[in-house]
Structure 1
């Protein structure tokens, strides 16, 4: 009941207060399609009670980052991680304080999602601390593959950020151009890592082992349109539907079809406008969807409130260190298709 009360209270916080990281923890779905012959593609839906003010950002190599900062505030006092980005990336930011989704130039993608049970454990001063909102960005900056990202994880500890009684309870999904995948959850102070191509879907609560247990109760071997399938917007229903429809996708004939196929999964598990959520009157509509095409290094973005699909072609971006970080507000009616040339330089990077 305390968790429900805290979440209800969070919905009342004004937009001014939402500039901190806490609301970025949300209900979302990640689905990875790594079994077709055309492209490794991953989709992600972003669900929240209001706009997270998403911005697409191009971040070059050579950027200096401080994992102890949440905006201008120092939130990790002891042994904060400080690093220089080895790889450039294209990310989706939230409230200007961190990246919740994105892909780097080597074809590693990350997705931060909400998990109530998250517990990063007591602070381990021997490990460099990274506030949870920069966890995914740290890996995009440092790793080219899932295996490299997991190795990089050994040196750091995500640190919980608390504000207004709400904690940044995040877990992480990563995948690379080979189709490798990993899901990372911190439960009871310990990391639980699920590493392998078979770990394709991630939603929210309950923790992953219990999600898998719910899925095992279903038999879809001889499925038809009459097969009972959970259809609500809670995390377990979305988890089961995403797994079910991933298994039914036909082999695509092109990269374009592969992207369209995984986007169809993201749309299926999206939350319609004003659909009831945890408590009567609460809503967590899908705000946007993304697709990372890890094979061709293209990143797609679709606002739920717009019929236009945006595309960023990472192969055409100059990620050299002397380049400026660039930003794009995707909520513009004339934006559609490739938008590489619509980004504007930032005088100062947001994080």
Structure 2
């Protein structure tokens, strides 16, 4: 379970924060991929899932991402300011495969988009060029939906429900959590808004308190409310602090109930913030008091450059850690 919050109205920088909520460590690694990498959409972490017709491509853009479980990309941005994030969605149903389209295993879904597109619109145009294939790691099926945003502030939510793709494309779609599907989340949020207005208030007050549980619906509504109240920042420091404050408010504390109704809820493993304007990536591990950040422009992203990586799970890491990445073999 996770939360994504886009702030595209502050007039300073387009920022997006997210939480990663999961029942175990995903072994996150901050990874920088250069241009010119040849990729196979069926191979990851030493196994093949896409059969005889995998999608193959060469990365057009460099990217800075968080990889999990040895190679799958779950969050990040590319050098042109496109951001992408995978969040859990239990009702994901990819539907029947199309043998006429090359297959892309789902753990590489957003990496393909970051490798290939400059904007949300370009990324959406790519969706018809492949078919997604489900993958399972450590017993967990990757039933996910995806949020995209770019440096212009554009936004899209992509889901596969009942075997059909649903795309919600508008810069007003700034908040995303998990169950239920996005259209139902919007309906529930509107119900809360109407409830507040029926009592004569423009926003929640002491008479109409904000939802306070850790389930996806309550987190969605709190994130929508608090992100709308953020004051105009004077500089990037204030802007990042603002989006982090809302992201932390939507986090799930350790010891929170794992079961809330039909769906499981897990504590927050880490939080990230993408600054799509200045190409900075912030990372905060829930078990560490330190905030890390990385400057994408400090890396060599040209074809032939090395893949660089950093394990953020160290109390010795704090502040700008761009210079502490080390060369690694590509995880594919």
Smaller-chain TM-score bracket: over 0.9
1:224 matches 2:198:
no
Aligned-residue Cα RMSD (Å) equals 1.6
Residues 177-222 of structure 1 show CA distances to partners (whole Å, capped at 9, x for unaligned) of: 0000000001111110001101111111111111111101112524
1 CA distance for matches of 2:169 and 2:293? 29
Q: How does 1:162-173 map to 2 (within 5 A)?
A: 162=136, 166-173=140-147
1 CA distance for matches of 2:233 and 2:137? 45
What is the aligned partner in structure 2 of residue 264 from structure 1? 245
2 CA distance for matches of 1:336 and 1:163? 30
Residues 311-342 of structure 1 show CA distances to partners (whole Å, capped at 9, x for unaligned) of: 11112221011211011010111111111110
Most deviating of 27-36 and 213-222: 213-222
CA contact (8 A) 1:288 1:302 kept: yes
SS class of match (2:76): strand
- CA gap 1:211/1:279 in 2 versus in 1, 3 angstroms: closer
CA contact (8 A) 2:253 2:267 kept: yes
Q: How does 1:30-45 map to 2 (within 5 A)?
A: 30-45=4-19
SS class of match (1:228): coil
What is the aligned partner in structure 1 of residue 220 from structure 2? 239
Q: How does 1:149-160 map to 2 (within 5 A)?
A: 149-160=123-134
Tell me the matched-pair count. 323
- TM-score computed with the length of structure 2 as normaliser: 0.94
What is the aligned partner in structure 2 of residue 7 from structure 1? none
What is the aligned partner in structure 1 of residue 26 from structure 2? 52
- TM-score computed with the length of structure 1 as normaliser: 0.89
CA contact (8 A) 1:303 1:331 kept: yes
SS class of match (1:186): strand
1:254 matches 2:228:
no
What is the aligned partner in structure 2 of residue 318 from structure 1? 300
Q: How does 1:210-221 map to 2 (within 5 A)?
A: 210-219=184-193, 221=202
Q: Where does the alignment leave 5 or more consecutive residues of structure 2 unmatched?
A: 197-201
CA contact (8 A) 1:29 1:266 kept: yes
CA contact (8 A) 2:69 2:137 kept: no
SS class of match (1:79): coil
2 CA distance for matches of 1:179 and 1:279? 33
SS class of match (1:32): strand
1 CA distance for matches of 2:137 and 2:21? 20
Q: 1:292 aligns with which of 274, 278, 290?
A: 274
Question: Shift in Å at residue 126 of structure 1?
Answer: 1.7
Q: 2:112 aligns with which of 122, 138, 143?
A: 138
CA contact (8 A) 1:102 1:292 kept: yes
1:331 matches 2:313:
yes
Residues 115-142 of structure 1 show CA distances to partners (whole Å, capped at 9, x for unaligned) of: 1111111111122211110000000000
- CA gap 1:118/1:254 in 2 versus in 1, 3 angstroms: same
What is the aligned partner in structure 1 of residue 322 from structure 2? 340
- CA gap 1:343/1:225 in 2 versus in 1, 3 angstroms: farther
Residues 37-83 of structure 1 show CA distances to partners (whole Å, capped at 9, x for unaligned) of: 11100001001112111110111111111111232111111421011
